[in-house]
Amino acid sequence: MNNELTREERLKRLEQSAGDYEELFGSCAQGTLLALQEEFRLGDAQTLKAATVMPGIALRGETCGAVIGALMALGMALGREKHDDVESLQRAVRAARKLCGRFEKEFGGCNCRDVQHRIFGRSFDLGDSNDLNEFVKSDAARKCRMPAGKAARFAGELIMDAMEKA
């Protein structure tokens, strides 16, 4: 089914799905991860569940959940299963560093605070109920589609590249 689409069509679908799921879940981590899970048949419901607390690392403004969801998918697709599989470790880390570099160029950093500042012109303390309410009122679910979509696209490109080399 997926092979019927061109690479670019798959990447556009992946980007769209990640944004749709981000809005549905209200979670950049779960939205990004689920789109990648479906596209590449990665992980399971438990894997998605593990991403529940990942946005901003427990809403602390730290690593953006879209980056974490994308890194989780990269790990499932490219990572190692045995402690001595150094080649897979290195391949996965190289891909992860590329993803983070691209995300930083696009959004000014990999931290949730940086992404928020780029999108909203300020950052929010999502652990503070007043800031959380302001974040929601600022149409965050719709505006945060972009980082989720881009992170999924970047991870998708890297996974496809690795599949083509295999």
Residue 97 structural domain: 2-165
Count of residues making up the chain: 166
pLDDT, one tens digit for every residue, the chain (166 residues): 455 899 999 999 999 999 999 999 999 999 999 999 999 999 999 999 999 999 999 999 999 999 999 999 999 999 999 999 999 999 999 999 999 999 999 999 999 999 999 999 999 999 999 999 999 999 998 999 999 999 999 999 999 999 998 7
The whole-angstrom separation of Cα 98 and Cα 47 is 23
The whole-angstrom separation of Cα 141 and Cα 20 is 10
Q: What sign has the CA pseudo-torsion 129, 47, 145, 95?
A: positive
The whole-angstrom separation of Cα 144 and Cα 70 is 15
For the chain, what is the domain count?
1
The whole-angstrom separation of Cα 49 and Cα 156 is 21
Residue from 44, 42, 20 nearest 32 by CA: 20
- The count of other CB atoms within 10 Å of the CB of residue 162 is 16
Residue from 8, 71, 13, 6 nearest 42 by CA: 71
DSSP state of 63: B
